[in-house]
Amino acid sequence: MDADRVLADMRELADLTGGPDGARRVCWTDEWTRAREFLRSRLDELPVEVSVDAAGNLWADLPGEGDGFVIVGSHVDSVPAGGWLDGTLGVFSAVEALRAQAGDAERPAVGLRLVDWADEEGARFGRSLFGSSACAGTLEVDEVRDLRDRDGERLEDVVARYEVDLARVHESGAQLRGARAYIEMHIEQGPVLEGLGEPAATVLGTCGVERHVAVFTGRAAHAGATPMAHRRDSFAATAQAALAIREIGFRHDGVCTVGGATSEPGVVTAVAGRTEMLLDQRHLDPGALAAMLAEARDACEQAASEHGCEVELKHLWSIPPIPFDDRLIGFAKRAVVEAGGKETAIPSGPLHDAAEMARLIPTVMLFSSSSPPVSHTKEEDTPEADLRVAIDAYGRTVEATLASAAAGELPPRE
Ligand SMILES: [Zn+2]
């Protein structure tokens, strides 16, 4: 693996589809098409067969000696003003893995296939992991058909312009016939590795997510005429619950976020009669996630009762924790150490296409550090030295996985 080529590709794409406001590669737009054309131009230099499947995912196939193939990839799409590394690090590291294997005198032990998933970000229609969930069979077509973008355009109509027939997207699943493993590299998008002073790490899996809206109902009342002891203040109950929920996150070593609250009537002269509070909780351990949710529910009820209010928790969305494959985690850990990092392995709070693959085939991810520890913004960055370690570790993980497949481990998926 030549890290210089990965960095050069990513910088060239950033020049092509970025600018002072950040990356502009929102899926199902002309600029996404331009990013894909750039990816194709790189793949055209290699002895690979390129195709696009029924869900709009792009595949590049390098045949190997043995049966089946290892999949490497990520996504070139971005949020509207995104960073230069989110998704692209995984895609262009995968291109380099193909290059490295294609440059060898011998064919790889088993095939190597690159994938660029369509619409990982969900930036236009709000449904992330579109292509990978279609491939994994978890995309509910009827739930996304009528999603509309800011201009009122329907998802089904827009994807049709890119030759994606929503009724057929699950045919993408056939791409996984013969798949032995899936490996994805990504930037961490958070502060953990920067805090540890480590360039890269292995990812244990993606955290399970529980999303709810807690509706606190009290009584709207005049801010001047209602003495403190006579109030049923839904905002005060929400504030108390939010602080208690923060402690739940600390206690379980998970993350709990109250991302916002909206009160009615929401004027300066009234006690809030009704407040809706947004709650997101994440953990890699399913038991801990369930406990965090139960404790959040208790905290809401406790706060409601102390303020003379009622509370109801409405379910918005959830996904269970998705652990990655132990054998591949072992390969990745060794690779990171050999590349100059440590044995550190952390869960991913954000979801990734790898979570969809992990449902079906042995999967692992590697993270490079993020510094500053932010993403989905033009400030997103990683020190070049850290990127080099991560790219090296990724190449070693791919090598170890190909060798393992050649040795008869990681059987091809039927
Ligand atoms: Zn991403």
DSSP string, 105-140: SSPPSSEEEEEE-S-SS-TTTS--SHHHHHHHT---
Q: How far is the CA of 85 from the centre of ligand 1 (A)?
A: 8
Q: How far is the CA of 352 from the centre of ligand 1 (A)?
A: 6
Provide CB contacts within 8 A for 382, sequence distance 6+: 85, 89, 187, 368, 369, 370, 371, 390
What are the tokens at 404?
Answer: 């393992």
Q: How far is the CA of 214 from the centre of ligand 1 (A)?
A: 29
Q: How far is the CA of 186 from the centre of ligand 1 (A)?
A: 7
Q: How far is the CA of 244 from the centre of ligand 1 (A)?
A: 31
Measured CA to CA, the distance from residue 373 to residue 118 in angstroms comes to: 25
Q: How far is the CA of 56 from the centre of ligand 1 (A)?
A: 17
Residue length of the chain:
414
What are the tokens at 123?
Answer: 């930036």
Contact yes or no for 1/100 (Cβ under 8 A): yes
Q: How far is the CA of 388 from the centre of ligand 1 (A)?
A: 19
133 CB burial (10 A radius; 0-12, 13-18, 19+) = buried
Q: How far is the CA of 87 from the centre of ligand 1 (A)?
A: 4
Measured CA to CA, the distance from residue 216 to residue 213 in angstroms comes to: 10
80 CB burial (10 A radius; 0-12, 13-18, 19+) = middle
Could you tell me the mean pLDDT of each successive run of 10 residues in the chain, 414 residues long? 97 92 94 97 97 98 96 96 96 98 90 98 93 97 94 97 97 98 97 97 97 97 97 98 98 96 97 97 97 98 98 93 98 98 96 96 98 92 97 98 96 95
Q: How far is the CA of 154 from the centre of ligand 1 (A)?
A: 24
Q: In what order do the strands lie in the sheet with 310-319?
A: 255-264, 274-283, 208-217, 310-319
Distance of CA 130 to the CA centre of its chain: 11
Supply the pLDDT for residue 317.
86
Is the whole-model pTM more than 0.85? yes
Supply the pLDDT for residue 149.
94
Supply the pLDDT for residue 20.
85
Q: How far is the CA of 359 from the centre of ligand 1 (A)?
A: 18
Supply the pLDDT for residue 212.
95
Q: How far is the CA of 121 from the centre of ligand 1 (A)?
A: 7
Residue written as token pair 């999949």: 71
Which residues are within 5 Å of ligand 1 (an ion), measured at CB? 86-87
Local structure of 266: helix, strand or coil: coil
Q: How far is the CA of 66 from the centre of ligand 1 (A)?
A: 31
Q: How far is the CA of 375 from the centre of ligand 1 (A)?
A: 9
Supply the pLDDT for residue 171.
98
Q: How far is the CA of 129 from the centre of ligand 1 (A)?
A: 10
Q: How far is the CA of 189 from the centre of ligand 1 (A)?
A: 9
Local structure of 45: helix, strand or coil: coil
Tell me the residue type at 31: E
Q: How far is the CA of 409 from the centre of ligand 1 (A)?
A: 29
Q: How far is the CA of 377 from the centre of ligand 1 (A)?
A: 12
